[in-house]
Amino acid sequence: MNYNPIRHFLRTALQGLFGLLPIIVIAIILVWLYAKIDQLTGWMFKLVGFTPENHQFLWFLLALFLFTFVLYIMGHLMKTKLIGLFESLLKKIPGYQTIKEIINIFNSSKEGENRVLVVAIRGFGIEGYNIGLMYSQKESIIKDHYTVTLSMSPIPNGGFMFEVPKSNIYVIDKATFDDNLQYLLSMGVKSFTEVLKTEPKTLDQLVPLSNWLEVHKNNQVKNVL
């Protein structure tokens, strides 16, 4: 294939875009949150006679401290029952629950029943396996079947859902939603072993879903006790 500098430039620029996109999205959210806190604290300080315009550096430090402190408090509240009471009020707002569930899909740190599992399932050809995601570990309408999603590559904004027998599902331990996203964006150029920085595993080294569910069930019982 002849070398095309324009095609090479566009392909490399596109890779750079996907590499920067998560950073840009997070930065935009943080800047928006900081601006709102800056506006709120400015209004509060003016009530007590403090003029931010006359103390720019001090004001910046105060706003930055308050912003970080709010994030810290929210991180603690997410682990308490207080956030559950507040969320029960928000659930009455039409569309809130749907938006929350969509956002939760991209939270790869979820645990328990809501954790996103990266799994290998028996392939749809004669041999081989496919790598997919389990957004929930709840049993399907079909007994002993579970829902697995196979995303498209390189833009994983679509895909297919399959009801797969439990015996055909293996959990890829320590793999996260973000790891699977990197794999999809690379279109297979980057193997999953490179993403996870590990050696290839035999099938018996992966965790069968039945075993994962049993361990998770036992952990839940211990937590209750």
pTM, rounded to two decimals: 0.55
Residue 142 scores a pLDDT above 90: yes
End-to-end distance of the chain based on CA atoms, in angstroms? 65
pLDDT reported for residue 109:
46
Name the H helices within 48-153.
Answer: 56-77, 82-90, 96-105
User: Could you tell me if residue 53 is inside a domain?
Assistant: yes
Q: Are residues 119 and 205 in the same domain?
A: yes
pLDDT reported for residue 3:
60
Q: Computed from CA positions of residues 58, 60, 62, 65, in that sequence, does the dihedral angle turn out positive or negative? A: negative
Per-residue DSSP letter, 52: G
Q: Are residues 65 and 146 in the same domain?
A: no
Among 106-120, 144-158, 159-173, 193-207, which stretch is predicted with the lowest mean pLDDT? 106-120
Kind of pairing between the strands at 159-165 and 207-208: unpaired
Residue 202 DSSP SS3: coil
Q: Are residues 58 and 131 in the same domain?
A: no
Choose among 95, 131, 99: nearest CA to 116.
Answer: 131
pLDDT reported for residue 171:
93
Asked if residues 180 and 151 have their Cβ atoms less than 8 Å apart, the reply is: yes
User: Could you tell me if residue 103 is inside a domain?
Assistant: no
Structural domain boundaries enclosing 36: 5-90
Domains held by the chain: number: 2
Q: Are residues 61 and 131 in the same domain?
A: no
Mean pLDDT within 100-113 = 54
Q: Are residues 130 and 199 in the same domain?
A: yes
